[in-house]
Amino acid sequence: MTIAAEARAGHQFSQGWLTRLFDYKPFLVFICLLPALGLLLVFLSYPLGLGVWLAFTDTRIGRAGYFIGFENFQSLWHDPVFITSVWNTLLYTGVATIGKFGLGLWLALLLNNHLPFKSLLRALILVPWIVPTVLSAIAFWWIYDPQFSIISYILVDVLGWRETYIDFLGAPWPARFSLIAANIWRGIPFVAISLLAGLQTISPALYEAAMLDGANAWQRFRHVTLPMLMPILAVVLTFSVLFTFTDFQLVYAITRGGPINSTHLMATLAFQRGIPGGQLGEGAAIAVAMIPFLVMATLFSYFALARRKWQQGEDND
Amino acid sequence: MASVQIADVRKAYGSTQVIHGVDIDIDDGEFVILVGPSGCGKSTLLRMIAGLENITGGEIRIGPRVVNDVPPKERDIAMVFQNYALYPHMTVADNMAFSMKLRKAPQAEIDERVNKAAGILGLDKLLDRYPRQLSGGQRQRVAMGRAIVRDPQVFLFDEPLSNLDAKLRVQMRTEIKELHQRLKTTTVYVTHDQIEAMTMADKIVVMHDGIVEQMGAPLDLYDNPANLFVAAFIGSPSMNLLKGTIRANGFETEGGVIWPVGQHPADSNGRAAVMGIRPEHILLDPAGLPAEVVVIEPMGSETQVVVRCGGQDLTCIFRERITAKPGENIHIRPDTSVTHLFDAATGKRI
């Protein structure tokens, strides 16, 4: 036995320092995380950090700036265009999210029934989602054109319900709602398909049990579908809010923030000021101003997504 | 409580007919079990009584009322599903109270009924739990509690025990039977397990391929199976069936062995038939037919023996202890007062 112990000890000492280093768990963890860490640093932390830094400087294109503290934010606070863009973003996100969820849930419920050509319909629903945003934005631009709009054509020339063509994008409020309509159209597939996946996990036996318990269609929706769908609804809602809040392409392609800056969202205004306007510091400050809103949305999801008691496992508390 | 009448009920999915005209009368307070192999239409029939499937033809009455076009919630029935179908987001108490809450019953009445049902089923301490926190047997009881709280005209059970382990199944079998004796509510119960049917039912309905093969009290079916299907389906271990021909001196099997048989019509000599003998109706008799022992399974109270006689394996159950070893011969004879003969072509009892 002593011999065996000695042999084992000897074997231990014969290992090189490199082998021992790689057997050391903290070192191994560090080594394995290094590639991911590098990617995150270069492509996420650096741009984000640079953006935040720029927000506190007076950098312009072609001129390195100086640290000026909160001056950018102070001037934005008194900038009516910026304030309008904040309200626009909140309105855009709020109305579009309600529209997307209302219509998306309705569509999901329809598609969950037995319909002829069900798979074909489900595939068609995805079309707005798979078309590149800029392409659909150009299509909407055409639809909203003051002279060639198909909607105006149908209302005026075909149905004769109106005398004049509609000026969709020429005045602030019609322009805002036109953009919201385009965003809803584009966002519905994501909501509908996600919720449809959630609906299909609900056991049909639950509906049958509810039917025998005396529930009518509304009560079955209210007491079975909705609570069972809540977890996935919360995830989809969070993602949808984040996507809508940071939306850029639709607005920039259809109105460029016009008319007279009345449809700017924070994202489009940040770009407008920073790149074509050259005021990198100010543009970055607008972008940074979005962060508190996004953090709030994320916190909401963090608490709303917390597993409900009935979803928990075998705990007997 | 109410009686249930099923009159010439048919069901077709498109052009495929799955139930071909079924007639069953269920008396008030009776415990009826629909039993049959998978795909025989028993669950479909139950779902038609519940109103979850349309009735293609015929008539179902609950009490005096024809319910063909009555929606499920107005039929005053409660159903226990195979997978329990408990609402996962509601506690045990809420699950049981759900139907009464929908009816806007006063809270005091809801509490009283839920507590009473929980008391009957031993769920008092589990009322605040969620279904996920319960074992299979407890979930089963909650599903039954949900039905009891309703105080319905008819209880429907759709294979309620098939998700439970063997020991729990035996226990729940007793509990369901006890519950029925206590509440005396008309019950229709679907299972593929003939032991459940034998032990629990007042009346068994054996179904096969969408028709009723036989209907009657458990022991009637056991003692007088109407045809080969029922003979083979009811009883465990199942009845020994021997093909052969009826002769003047007995029943000659295909292996050339002549078995003594009981009464049969005098004109049936020479008729191709199947003889059925239940394992416990084979007796040891030194003057009987020689049979080679293949397998011996001692159970303690009885001994199950598989023997080979005339090239055919037979299962026998003896109360006596068997000392013979596999390969040795024992001598057996059937109890001719309880042998069965079936027509080989039609399967009908002779």
pLDDT, tens digit only, all 350 positions of chain B = 789 999 999 999 888 999 998 999 999 999 999 999 988 889 999 999 999 999 998 999 998 889 988 988 888 899 999 888 999 989 999 999 999 999 888 999 999 999 998 988 888 889 999 998 888 888 988 998 999 898 889 999 999 888 888 888 888 899 899 989 988 999 999 999 989 999 999 999 999 999 999 999 999 999 999 999 999 999 888 999 999 998 888 888 888 888 888 877 777 788 889 999 999 999 998 888 899 999 999 988 999 999 998 888 999 999 988 888 898 999 999 998 889 999 988 889 88
Q: Would you say B255 and B310 are in contact if contact means Cβ atoms under 8 Å apart? A: yes
Q: Is A63 helix (H, G, I), strand (E, B) or coil?
A: strand
What one-letter code names the amino acid at A264?
Answer: H
Q: What is the largest CA-CA distance in chain B?
A: 75
- Give the nearest partner residue to B79 out of A212, A224, A310, using CB atoms: A212
**Residue B194 C-alpha, separation from nearest chain A C-alpha, in angstroms:** 25
Shortest Cα distance, chain B CAs vs residue A229, angstroms:
11
- Judged against a pLDDT cut of 60, whether residue A5 lies above it is answered with no
C-alpha B194/C-alpha B208 separation (Å) is 13
B90 lies within 8 A of chain A by CB = yes
d(CA B126, CA A282): 61
Give the tokens for residue B190: 């679907």
HSE-up (13 A, CA, CB side) for residue B247: 14
Q: CB of A264 within 8 A of CB of A81?
A: yes
DSSP per-residue string spanning A223-254 = IIIHHHHHHHHHHHHHHHHHHHHT--HHHHHH
Using the Cβ of B88 and the Cβ atoms of chain A, whether some distance falls under 8 Å is answered with yes
Instruction: Test A214 with B102 for CB contact under 8 angstroms.
Output: yes
DSSP state of B322: P
How many contacts does A have with B, using Cβ atoms within 8 A? 72
Q: Per the CB < 8 Å rule, is A205 touching B81?
A: yes
Smallest Cα distance from B20 to chain A, Å: 25
Decide if B132 and A310 are in contact by the 8 Å CB cutoff.
yes
Q: What CA–CA distance (Å, rounded) separates A133 from B166?
A: 59
Q: Which residues pair with B252 in a beta bridge?
A: B245, B258
| Cβ pair A161, A155 in contact under 8 A | yes
Q: Which of B20, B42, B315, B303 is nearest to B193 (CA)?
A: B42
Residue with tokens 């019953």: B105
Q: Give the tokens for residue B350.
A: 């002779």
Q: Which residues of A283-308 are buried (b: 16+ CB within 10 A; e: fewer)?
A: bbbbbbbbeebeeebeeebeeeeeee
pTM, entire model: 0.78
Q: Is B256 on the interface with A (CB under 8 A)?
A: no
First vs last C-alpha separation in chain A:
52
B89 vs A contacts (CB less than 8 Å): 227-228, 308, 310
Angle at which helix B92-102 crosses helix B136-150, to 10 degrees, equals 20
Nearest CB to A316 within list B98, B133, B146: B133
Query: At CA B122, angle to CA B118 and CA B123, rounded to 5?
Result: 55
Question: What angle separates helix A80-111 from helix A280-289, to the nearest 10 degrees?
Answer: 50
Flag if A213 and B52 touch (Cβ within 8 Å): no
Best of B133, B140, B155 to mutate (most A CBs within 10 Å, chain A): B133
Domains contained in chain A, CATH given: 1-55 (no CATH), 73-311 (1.10.3720.10)
* DSSP code for B207: E
- Dihedral over Cα of B85, B91, B97, B102: its sign: negative
Of residues B181, B179, B144, the one with CA closest to residue B160: B144
**Inter-chain touch A212–B89, beta carbons under 8 Å:** no
pLDDT at A310 exceeding the cut of 60: yes
DSSP state letter for B238: P
A211's CB contacts (< 8 A; 6+ apart) are A220, B51, B52, B71, B72, B73
pLDDT digits over A133-174, tens only? Answer: 888 888 888 898 888 888 888 888 888 888 888 888 888 888
- Helix H segments across A15-148? 17-23, 25-40, 46-55, 71-77, 80-111, 118-125, 127-130, 133-143
Rounded CA separation B310/B294 (Å)? 13
Interface pTM, i.e. ipTM? 0.82
CA distances from A227 to A231, A315, B115, B267 (A): 8, 21, 25, 71
Average pLDDT of the residues in A244-257: 88
- Cβ pair B73:A312 closer than 8 A: no
Q: Which residues of B touch A224 (CB under 8 A)?
A: 87
CA distance B24 to chain A (A): 23
Of the pLDDT bands very low, low, confident and very high (cuts 50, 70, 90), residue A8 is low
Cβ-defined contacts of A217-222 (< 8 Å, 24+): A219/B102, A221/A109
Closest CA to A269 of A95, A50, A86: A86
Chain B residues with CB inside 8 Å of A216's CB?
Answer: 73
What backbone phi and psi angles, to 5 degrees, belong to B77? -130, 160
The H or E element spanning position A295 is: helix A291-304
- The partner residue sitting opposite A310, judged by closest CB among B72, B103, B130, is B130
pLDDT of residue A317: 37
State which amino acid sits at residue A212: L
Out of B52, B71, B131, whose CB is closest to A208?
B52
Nearest residue on chain B to A316, alpha-carbon basis: B133
B-interface mutation test, from A202, A207, A213, A220, most B Cβ less than 10 A away: A213
**B324: contact with A, CB 8 A cutoff:** no
CB contact under 8 A, A213 and B146: yes
* Among chain A residues, CA nearest to B148: A213
Check residue A256 and give left, alpha or beta (phi > 0: left; psi -120 to 50: alpha): left
CA distance to A25, A26, A39, A204, per residue, from A36 (Å): 18, 16, 5, 43
Q: Is B275 on the interface with A (CB under 8 A)?
A: no
Inter-chain touch A212–B78, beta carbons under 8 Å = yes
Distance of CA B323 to the CA centre of its chain: 36
Is residue A2 predicted with pLDDT exceeding 60?
A: no
Q: Using a CB-CB distance cutoff of 8 angstroms, which residues of chain A are in contact with residue B51?
A: 211-212
Residue A112: pLDDT above 90?
Answer: no
The answer to whether the Cβ–Cβ distance between B132 and A211 falls below 8 Å is: no
- Is B102 an interface residue toward A (CB < 8 Å)? yes
* Residue ranges in chain B assigned as alpha helix (H): 42-50, 92-102, 107-121, 136-150, 166-183, 194-200, 218-223, 228-233
Secondary element (H or E) of residue A192: helix A172-200
